[in-house]
Amino acid sequence: MQDLLEGLNDRQKEAVVNTEGPCLVIAGAGSGKTKVLTHKIAYLISEKYVKPWNIIAITFTNKAANEMKERIQNIIGDAANDLWMGTFHSICVKILRKYIDRIGFDHSFLIFDTSDQKTLIKECLKDLKVDDKLFNDRAVLSEISNGKNEMLEPKAYQTKYAGDFRRETIGNIYELYQQRLKENNALDFDDIINCTIKILTENPDVLEYYTEKFKYVLVDEYQDTNKAQFMLVSILASKYGNITVVGDNDQGIYSFRGADITNILNFEKDFPGTKIIKLEQNYRCTGNILKAANAVIKHNDNKYEKKLWTANDEGELPSIYQAEDEYDEATYIVSQINHLKTEEYYKYSDFVVLYRMNSQSRAIEDILRREDIPYKIVGGLKFYERKEIKDIIAYLRLIYNPSDNISLKRIINEPKRGIGKTSLDNIQQIAEQNGISMYEIIKNAEQYGLNRVKANADEFINLIEELRVKQNELSISELIKETLNKSGYTKALELENSVEAESRIQNLEEFLTVAIEFEEEFADNTLGEFLENITLSSDIDNVEDAENSVTLMTLHSAKGLEFPTVFLVGLEEGIFPGYKSIGEENALQEERRLFYVGITRAKEHLYLTCAKRRTIFGSTSYNAISRFVKEIPEELLDGYEEMQKEKVEDKFEDSNYGWKYGNKESKVKTYTFGTGEYEVKKQTPVTTGFQYRTAESFLSSLNKKNDFDISKYKEGQRVYHKKFGEGTINKVEEEGEDYKIDINFDKVGHKRLMAKFAGLEII
């Protein structure tokens, strides 16, 4: 026993040896919760002489389960093989394989994946004569999944939503869908837990067997459980009451997946006599990073208040940087990566960039590619490899070159047009026989006896022909808008009405930003040049070993991970927290928990970044710095004073309102500078955007009033910048009435500045 408890702190030991009755372990970030769970299981077996098969340990990922089992094996040996350990679904499938005949299924049942589910839903829609344009298969599946998460069977669902036409219709689809699943001897993912609960509650002998078998129940990440998962563990622990759950109410971030944080908040009410143990010693982060995390999370309502502390060094202060735009933000990130890699010998794999939305990755990817820094996307695809982006590019390629059979096959049924694989195979065969493109065959389908193809594809052909004519009349961004609108692609995603569809729409809007930037940079901006530019920018030829690459991921994907250096980006009102969360207190508190999760991923270095202006979803916005950043005391943020010095007094910044293109209001604002007062009219017509939003843009209009000698800077000179420190001028280029200066700064690396506004001092 001495060896087993050695290395545990007092609270961890308390959690391990407290084996009888309900126990709630509130485990702060980086506090060693996995160690507690593994040692508690080992303690039960080696010191309390509990049989391994009388213990069930439930995790949320197979990876976590495998890691725990491996650790337990290292402590107690092969006895760990007799444990029941795994995810909710893997454990339930073991029960179902034995007893599913009790609810009318054969033991050889199948589990339908998403693709199978969609096929089945489409059959149901067809048989019920439901318009699949009004009831998209994905939207219907999403709603059925929500009903199953609430443990509503079809009849209960229909009763609950009686009088609601859309949901009544979905209720009918749900009923037929479940009938067809049974006909196929199949379950979907949501059924796995619900059917297990049904077997246990309807069969006393099965209930007695498993409640007797599992004398000790342990659950990880309890704050992420939903209603069905809560019901399952409650049933399994009902006989002996020896249930230990480990979680952190400050890290509950999955409500959109059906997780119910009240499960952990109400645990002591649901399980009377609960022993509550808090793990507050953090082994991951430096002291200053923890201070920042504690300062933020204290703004949430918190039933189980805790304050993380560490015996680690205080470390560096978290850094704050306000960029001019998303590209300046990305350049700053790269400069810090290069600095730490060069000066402190960090590897690329030591860095992670965390963002709120997948669409934020594009500018960062662009700069990483430009600097030849290898990276990988976790929890998402690289921007140009995402399905919706590849689809719209395929449309543009077909418009530009109708002989592109690859692109045609990709989008002929995006959205659905009733041209199946058999028809496409036939079209391809005829095209090959005649030595012409598939597009030409479809365009002249009647000549080849393809009357059904003609009927289904006529609208598609007319669309491509119309856009081929317009490609020389419209700008690239206008052509994209026309394509998305007239093809019905965006409309189909809107009808889907799911989180995934919303993300796809956001990515398409971000693709508009790509086009707008291309138009601004290239004078001719033809469709051919645009497609070439896209192809080259998404072709990564010299990526190093994937294990040594910078990681990019959403904050939700980062849960449970840790990195030496973390960049938390896009910290502006409307981005993080998002607009939808700002007016809803529960949603805002979950966003704050997400920010807290992001902070506590960092072991040694934490960088927080925001931008004065950000072009995203096809428009430029000017939003205030995130309230979450402002919740961190100024003295805990390196760079805060410099950021404040640069800030020009602006009364609008006292509010959380952000100016955006497309706002039809006009305001008058007075900026005060050392040279006097100037009145600036901020106009916001829809087409051109307003004239001045920042002091920099206003000063740019006063170039002629600026009479200092901008020609004094020379290559090789040593200069000083108030933010970036000392550096050497590499290159000076004339740009209008100003000079563009490339400088290699000693601490932050390469920067490109305009001479008139850089405020450089020659050393």
Average pLDDT over residues 295-303: 91
Q: Letter for the amino acid at 139?
A: A
Strand, coil or helix: 450 = coil
pTM passes above 0.85: no
Q: According to the model, what pLDDT value does residue 199 have?
A: 97
Tell which wins on pLDDT, 259 or 576. 576
Specify the pLDDT at position 201: 96
- Write down the pLDDT at residue 714: 85
Closest CA to 468 of 527, 530, 409, 531: 527
List the catalytic residues.
Answer: 33-34, 220-221, 251, 601
Least Cα distance to 683 among 696, 698, 665 occurs for 665
**What pLDDT, on the 0 to 100 scale, is given for residue 709?**
66
Q: Is the pLDDT of residue 676 over 50?
A: no
Tokens of 732: 């000076």
Q: Which of 92, 26, 89 is nearest to 61 (CA)?
A: 89
pLDDT of residue 543 exceeding 60: no
Q: What is the DSSP secondary-structure string of 376-434? A: EEESS--GGGSHHHHHHHHHHHHHH-TT-HHHHHHHTTSS--S--HHHHHHHHHHHHHH
- Judged by phi (left if over 0) then psi (alpha if -120 to 50, else beta), residue 407 lies in alpha
Q: Which amino acid is at 410?
A: R
In the predicted model, what is the mean pLDDT of residues 676-702? 36
User: Would you state the pLDDT for residue 733?
Assistant: 82
Average model confidence (pLDDT) for the chain?
84
Between 631 and 517, name the one with better pLDDT.
Answer: 631
What is the model's pLDDT at position 591? 96
- What residues have CB less than 8 Å from 2, skipping those under 6 apart? none
55: β partners: 216
Residue bearing the bigger pLDDT, 446 or 173 = 173
pLDDT tier, 531 (very low <50, low <70, confident <90, very high otherwise) = confident
User: pLDDT per residue over 218-240, tens digit each?
Assistant: 999 999 999 999 999 999 999 99
Say what the pLDDT of residue 553 is. Answer: 93
CA 712/CA 762 separation, integer angstroms:
9
Residue 539: the pLDDT is 34
Give CA angle at 409 (406, 411), nearest 5°: 110
Question: CB within 8 A of 208, min separation 6: which ones?
Answer: none
Tell me what pLDDT residue 651 has: 39
Torsion (CA) 576, 579, 583, 587 in degrees, nearest 10: -50
Taking a C-beta distance cutoff of 8 angstroms, is the pair 149, 258 a contact?
A: yes
Structure tokens at 670: 């007075």
Contact in structure between 210 and 91 (CB atoms under 8 Å): no
pLDDT class for 696, splitting at 50, 70, 90?
A: very low
- In degrees rounded to 5, what are phi and psi of residue 284? -95, -50
- Distances in Å between the alpha carbon of 270 and those of 220, 234, 261? 17, 9, 14
Name the range with the highest mean pLDDT among 76-80, 536-540, 733-737.
76-80
Strand (E) positions, 478-549?
A: none
| Residue 346 near residue 549 (C-beta atoms within 8 A) | no
The answer to which of 57-71, 147-161, 352-366, 646-660 has the lowest mean pLDDT is 646-660
**What is the pLDDT at residue 528?**
79
Bridge partners, 719 (sequence order) = 727, 762
In order, the DSSP letters of 252-269 are: ---GGGT--THHHHTHHH
Element (H, E) at 156: helix 154-160
In three-state form (DSSP H/G/I as H, E/B as E, the rest C), the secondary structure along 317-354 is CCEEEEECCHHHHHHHHHHHHHHHHHHCCCCHHHEEEE
pLDDT band at 706 (very low <50, low <70, confident <90, very high): very low
Q: Which token pair is 84?
A: 């029941």
225/726 Cα distance (integer angstroms): 52
How does DSSP assign 294-309, residue by residue? HHHHTTS--TT----B
C-alpha distances in angstroms, 314 versus 32, 290, 413?
20, 9, 57
Indicate whether 669 pLDDT > 70. no
CA distance 282 to 9: 11
- Can you say how many angstroms the Cα of residue 403 is from the centroid of all Cα atoms in its chain? 37
Under a CB-based contact definition with an 8 Å cutoff, are residues 562 and 30 in contact?
A: yes
Look at residue 157 in the predicted model and tell me its pLDDT.
Answer: 95
Query: Distance between alpha carbon 8 and the CA centroid of its chain, in Å?
Result: 35
Helix (H, G, I), strand (E, B) or coil at 690: coil
Query: Taking a C-beta distance cutoff of 8 angstroms, is the pair 678, 686 a contact?
Result: no
pLDDT of residue 535: 62
What is the token pair recorded at 685?
Answer: 């017509």
Q: What is the pLDDT of residues 733-746, one digit of tens each?
A: 876 667 888 888 88
